[in-house]
Structures are given as C-alpha cells and as structure tokens.
C-alpha cells in the first residue's frame, strides 16, 4: 500500500469511527429536534432545540436517523404515560416528524365539548391562570392560559383563543389497541389526532411511530431575533430557554 493510501486509510478509519459513534448515539440514546410550529405553545416555542430520549419507549424501525430498520413493532418496548410530550413519525407520511402530547392511551375515549377535554366520559379539570395578547396577520387576539389536570393528576399548560373554535367540538374517539391519541397544547392552532389522517390530520399514532420522549429544551433561538445585532442580545437571551424542563 502506498504512503498516500496508507494515510487515507488511517484518516478514513478515524472519520468512519466518529460517524459510527454519532449514528449509534442518535439511534440508541437521543436525537435532536427543532420545533417548527407554535402547536405546542406555551410548553414548547418555535425554535426550541429538543433532544428526544429514544430509550424511554424502546426502539422501532424509525429509531435510526438515516432511514428505517428492517423490523416490525418495538424492541425493549415501554409504554408512554398520559401527558408525555413525544416526538413521533406522522402516520400518513413517515418522512415527517411531529411533536405532541399524549392525551389518550389504548382503550380510552377522547372528546372535545365546547373547548373542554373529556377522557373516558369525564371532563378534565382546568383552571385559568391569565391571558396573553398575540398578533396574527396584523390583528390582536387574546389567548386564555389554563392549567389542565389529566387523569392521574398530571398538570400541564394549555392555551385557547376561545371554546368555540373548529376543533373545540369533536366526535367521541376510541383509541385502538397499540395506538395513541395526540394533541397540541395550543388547542386552537394544532393539527393533531382530532383530525383524521385521511382528512390531512394526524389521526391515531401507532406505537411503532414513537421516536422518543421530550424531557428538556436544550436551548432556543427566537427566529425573529438576529444573532448578529448586538442591540438585540438582551432580548435574545430571554428566549434561550437553556435546559428548560418539560412537564
């Protein structure tokens, strides 16, 4: 082997090993994800950088970041808990990744009535904590901020513009075995399991589509803030959300 080929072989082995290590970590332990939409506000913000913990639910064909494993079902499977925030592959297009909260477990019934969430026929408790004003398309809207308590006692934040929006009244859904019902915390601006896959929504999410559980925001970048503008650094720092725990 020539000196040049020997050098390339030594350097190539190091690069290949490094790439293999990154691939293993992203497949087995965690994978980064950036929040692209406001569907999970106020829990997650646009620009949040997350890490989905893959070991939380085991592994499926979608656990690798470079394609699909030739396998069915899940390995080392562990079921999610109601209220977990999960990164998953969209059932109708598995090339697309979503992040939502688990609301319905297998066998549950889920329904929205006049903006209130019903699980297994019982209305979940919510209490209003205040309001916030946002601007959409040049118009100002008031959003109501609530703390919602799921069966089992787990609390999380939700926001609603009103209790009379498009998805505030739905049929009663029954969650099939091995599937989950997902919803966004921004109830009036979330495409989720309330809309069937055949209608362009999420529908029920099979267990094998789960990628990982979101436990923390590593940091966030406000897309409206410019890194290169020192005048905006103080405001930019407010949006970093370093190591924010997710509940």
Catalytic residues: 39, 100
Question: 155 forms bridges with which residues in the sheet?
Answer: 149
Place of tokens 């004003």: 133
- Of the candidates 174, 201, 180, the residue with the CA atom closest to the CA atom of residue 190: 201
CA dist 242 and 71 (Å) reads 36
Rounded to a whole number, what is the distance in angstroms from the first to the last CA of the chain? 57
Sheet holding 116-119, edge to edge: 122-123, 116-119, 109-113, 173-174
Give whole-number Cα distances, 211 to 26, 27, 70, 140, 231, in Å: 11, 10, 16, 36, 39
Tokens of 150: 């799921």
Tokens of 63: 């656990």
Question: 143 forms bridges with which residues in the sheet?
Answer: 132
Q: Round the CA-based radius of gyration of the chain to a whole number and report it.
A: 21
């Amino acid at each position: 082997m020539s000196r040049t080929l020997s050098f390339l072989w030594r350097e190539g082995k190091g690069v290949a090993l490094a790439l293999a290590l990154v691939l293993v970590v992203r497949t087995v332990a965690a994978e980064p994800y950036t929040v692209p939409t406001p569907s999970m506000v106020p829990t997650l913000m646009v620009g949040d950088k997350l890490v989905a913990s893959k070991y939380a639910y085991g592994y499926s064909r979608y656990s690798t970041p470079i394609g699909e494993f030739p396998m069915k079902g899940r390995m080392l499977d562990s079921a999610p808990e109601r209220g977990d925030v999960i990164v998953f592959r969209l059932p109708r297009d598995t090339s697309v990744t979503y992040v939502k909260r688990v609301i319905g477990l297998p066998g549950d019934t889920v329904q929205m009535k006049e903006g209130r969430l019903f699980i297994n026929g019982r209305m979940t408790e919510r209490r209003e904590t205040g309001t916030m004003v946002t601007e959409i398309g040049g118009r100002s809207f008031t959003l109501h901020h609530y703390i919602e308590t799921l069966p089992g006692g787990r609390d999380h934040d939700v926001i609603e513009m009103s209790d009379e929006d498009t998805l505030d009244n739905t049929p009663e859904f029954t969650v099939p075995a091995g599937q989950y019902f997902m919803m966004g915390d921004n109830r009036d601006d979330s495409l989720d399991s309330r809309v069937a896959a055949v209608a362009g929504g999420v529908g029920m999410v099979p267990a094998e589509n789960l990628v990982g559980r979101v436990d923390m925001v590593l940091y966030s970048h406000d897309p409206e803030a410019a890194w290169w503008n020192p005048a905006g650094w103080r405001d930019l720092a407010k949006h970093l959300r370093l190591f924010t725990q997710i509940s």
